[in-house]
A and B are shown apart, each in its own frame.
Chain A
Amino acid sequence: EPEVTQTPSHQVTQMGQEVILRCVPISNHLYFYWYRQILGQKVEFLVSFYNNEISEKSEIFDDQFSVERPDGSNFTLKIRSTKLEDSAMYFCASSGQGGLPEAFFGQGTRLTVV
């Protein structure tokens, strides 16, 4: 069964450093998303991406964050100048034509900022 893969599974970084979280969505999907989940809290929408541009973003997704689809297979989330409060699980998801019906999520990258 096709799946969304994320790398690395765990990343530790120092405060102020830049990190890039990587995702390989399901190959024929057209819509891509990033979500995050701070430990013990609910899953939060960050951004959706379609046709090589951001289609929607939340208030969390400020200038510190950026997304890119550098080639036909990868989808990345860059966090510049990381802060302690960026520590969370980051989930990538993708969905097919029309964005419906379901989104497939990866297993997540646990980001720890120290």
Chain B
Amino acid sequence: DAKTTQPNSMESNEEEPVHLPCNHSTISGTDYIHWYRQLPSQGPEYVIHGLTSNVNNRMASLAIAEDRKSSTLILHRATLRDAAVYYCILRVFNTGKLIFGQGTTLQVKP
């Protein structure tokens, strides 16, 4: 399984944008880039995914480097509720399993 590297922790101020980086230098052509988050005492929650192009949804944006070896999850205006562990996961096209790393713990300050 291809591996991702994320910073252990990040801090943000409320209502400011947050850029969460992820390196995945060994990504293969069929790997999708998925982001999940886990709020305290809850199950993981899907955030966004992409293959090659940048993606936007109601929760966040995903910027994917041209060589696909890195990506950035963008929260446009962080709220206190966005404090969570964010996981960047490479998901192989024909398998459903998710391999979670340690993720990035995001703290949001009021």
Q: Give chain A's interface residues, CB within 8 Å of chain B.
A: 4, 31, 33, 35, 42-45, 48, 50, 55-56, 58, 91, 93, 95, 99-108
Neighbour of A104 across the interface among B34, B46, B49, B100, CB < 8 A: B46
A sample of 12 inter-chain contacts (CB < 8 A) reads A4-B43, A35-B98, A55-B96, A93-B44, A100-B91, A100-B96, A101-B32, A101-B46, A102-B34, A103-B44, A103-B96, A105-B45
Q: Which of A31, A101, A108 has the most CB of B within 10 A?
A: A101
Number of A-B contacts (CB under 8 A): 61
A99 in contact with B45 (CB, 8 Å): no
A45 in contact with B98 (CB, 8 Å): yes
A107 and B97 contact, Cβ closer than 8 Å, known pairs A43-B38, A100-B32 = no
Count how many chain B residues have C-beta atoms less than 8 Å from C-beta atoms of the other chain.
21
B43 in contact with A106 (CB, 8 Å): yes
Which chain B residues border A4 with CB–CB below 8 Å? Answer: 43
Q: Give chain B's interface residues, CB within 8 Å of chain A.
A: 32, 34, 38, 42-46, 49, 87, 91, 93, 95-103
A108 in contact with B43 (CB, 8 Å): yes
B44 in contact with A99 (CB, 8 Å): no
Which chain A residues border B97 with CB–CB below 8 Å? Answer: 33, 45, 48, 56, 58
Across the A-B interface, give the 5 residue pairs with the lowest CB-CB distance, nearest first: A105-B43, A102-B46, A99-B96, A43-B100, A45-B97
Tell me the minimal C-beta distance from B55 to chain A in angstroms.
Answer: 10
Which chain B residues border A45 with CB–CB below 8 Å? Answer: 97-100
A91 to B38, CA, bound (A): 12
Q: Which of B42, B98, B100 has the most CB of A within 10 A?
A: B98
A50 to B95, CA, bound (A): 11
A103 and B98 contact, Cβ closer than 8 Å, known pairs A43-B44, A91-B43, A91-B44 = yes
A109 to B60, CA, bound (A): 28
B49 in contact with A101 (CB, 8 Å): yes
A95 in contact with B43 (CB, 8 Å): no
